Structure 1
Amino acid sequence: MPKCSHRNDLATGLSAILLVLLVAGCETSSSSDGASVASDVVDGVPTLTIGNLWANEWPAIPALTIDTIIGPSDGDALGLMAPLHAAILSDGRIVLGDVGMRRIWIGSDSGWVAGPGPGQGPGEMRSIGGVWPAGQGFIVHDPGTGDLVRFDSLGRWIDRERVGIERAIHGPGTSIGAWAPSVERIEDGNWLVAVPLVAEARADGPVRSVEAQYVWVSGHPAEGETSLGSGLLRPLFLQGGGGAPIPFGRTGYTAGAAGSAVVFRGHEAALERVGPDGSVTLRVQWTDRPGPLGPAHHGALGDFMRASAPSESPDVFEPMIATLREGIPFPERLPHLGALRLGEDGALWLGWPERSGLETPTEPELVAEWRIILPDEGTEKSQVFRGSLPPGVTLLAPAVESELARAPGWTGHIDRGAFFVLLRDDVGRQGIGLLRHGAGR
């Protein structure tokens, strides 16, 4: 029988969730259905304007493949609860970060070896928010303390440093429910940090709105910070001293890789790629947006609650669901974007907007449909593809290029543009895989 009992405690964590243009030239390419990519320079910024971004007629991204590094059944046997982070060490070995168990697993020739884990010590973590290669070893982000913790290739602790200097500082008191700080690796020694501005939260009637501050941090230890502005975080519906996330509410996203940071602020159908000085090096905007919310969307919260707490008594649970559904001020339309990733090849991955945002820290919501933009600003060669992920596959962080990567029972090469993916089977067991594609080659 699958060892799934360690998930039940987190499934009941639902109660915690509830409580808490100057134009200089223009080149345009288009397809037969009217989908198009126009390349302009607007106010000195290279700008791509994409028509019908969410149309189905874009060409499929070529040679999309997914390798299984550790399958869900093997992951369950290992005790993995949420392997949401992975990194490739300089010698090709793969390191996994299990958010649910707060444990690092290091691949070796003899199997997976348990590495640093939960605790209050200098080489332990309160939580895991990311894992990246660093020299011969790796770095782990601990959102609970706001530190970057460095280990050697065997998992032995080296040091720990605060992520930022001022704006990017976070730790206790900067995470409330789904509003959690995040860190993404831009390149060695450069980090993209998003910190919830909890102290500046606004209450508009029953809705509480919060923004995250985006900061480019350089150096390890940190030597400089550049503000990249702010973006929306998912709003909460306030009731009875607690709050529930508003499904399909507008929210911002960030992505870092390939020496660049990308921010989508959530207010409009546009994102920006920025440099270390905060200047915008590329703007991408799109003209279409999926339609209004319907009855199925309004039922998403109830479906999520029932799935998260299947043992709750319907006599108590269903009235709670009905009250929330009647009271929550659902948005009239779907948001502009559902997810954002940036590949090491510079490709922008934009997730389908029909994303409710109802997820737990250990089970991110599945986003199956993507539009992949390969920008070639200033020319007519920018490309847009559509990508569909198989059931149970969640796109995670980009993987650093490697001629030979290896894990117990798996070896392979890592191309630029590859991503780690979370693999989930129909009983909730989780593993890790690798997505590769042939676009731009």
Structure 2
Amino acid sequence: MTTGFERDRDDVARGAKAVVVYPDTGASTRDAEARLAETAGLAMAIHVEVVDRVAIKVRTLQPSTLIGKGQLEALAATVRMGEAELVVFDANLTPVQQRNLEKALSAKVIDRTGLILEIFGERAATAEGRLQVELAHLDYQAGRLVRSWTHLERQRGGFGFLGGPGETQIEADRRLIRDRMARLKKELEQVSRTRGLHRDRRQRAPWPVIALVGYTNAGKSTLFNRMTGADVMAEDLLFATLDPTLRQIALPGIDKAILSDTVGFVSELPTQLVAAFKATLEEVVSADLLIHVRDIAHPDTLVQRDDVETVLRDIGVDTSVPRIEAWNKLDLLDEDERAEWLGEAERREDVVAISALSGEGVAGLLDTVAALLTASHRRYTILLDAGDGAGAAWLHAHGDVLSQSVEGEQAIYDVRMAERDYERFAQR
């Protein structure tokens, strides 16, 4: 059955001409140009042609149209001059505002949440990713069915499974959406359980899990590829990575660790996406160490850092989890900027300056990660039967064997390892 939602969604067409609008209320920590540049980048990520960028000073938010009447008329003229079919607002619009703006501008209007959902809808590559995006989109769209329904007085009678007597079309569509959302949540709960089982298996193994986090387009996937030799999509594009990728890596003194590449964060990440991507973000929550990849060549790098920290708090990452800041994109800095950032990085123990693209500093990052992961390791003297090859292999795989000797039928190992690994070994 085709619902009103499916008819209403009307995805943004590739190549559509768009005007990007930032209603500047003075509440943002970024200037208007930076906001417009980011939103234009988001729009271009779904192959929209941005023909103009407009910052509008808003002193009083209008409940019906967000911006004032005169500002709306001026914006309509800009849209006509640019022959734009789409207007992207860097703000969150109510359904009423969205409908009124579309009428006044004679163009399709989407807000920041709608734009990010469009990107995620296009990029999700795995079944899990598509489930998450559909759930987020349904949640967002459920309150916006009013946008295109002008026939609300039409009522649908009939059988119970189609809606009781007197149920309006929009009520039926909302019910169908709620039912679909309930099914999606069940499927994602199964995904979460499966991912949890995989995590439990890794923890029993155990291998430390390192999660790359950061603002979108900070260079996480490029660093992931550099560290693992993988070939994850890495482009100069916002939200190039949506689906989590896990790879095995070796670190100094650590035979095996798991590195996870995750979806990039963005300021004012829609709540629907945070909720829908819970299963994916659990990889971050359960990580043993976080590498926060920062684009230090970006003019808003400090604000982006704060935005990432906000999202990490929102998804429940424990503040006690060790973390390193990888100051990325050294290759884009001029000599003076480079010297300044390198000097600051050297003064801090939790920072490594790198270029994921060229590989500069990545070896030092691996050393720092290994040192943090092994910081709590203690030294143990372990006795094994001389013929216990499996035990010896386990010690080499999970600890740093400093020395070994044989006395009669016993092998003596001097090993540095995590306390939890020692306890597991003692129980074998």
Q: Normalising by structure 2, what TM-score? A: 0.23
Name the one with the larger strand percent. 1
Q: Normalising by structure 1, what TM-score? A: 0.22
Name the one with the larger helix percent. 2
Structure with greater contact order relative to length (CA < 8 Å, sep ≥ 6): 1
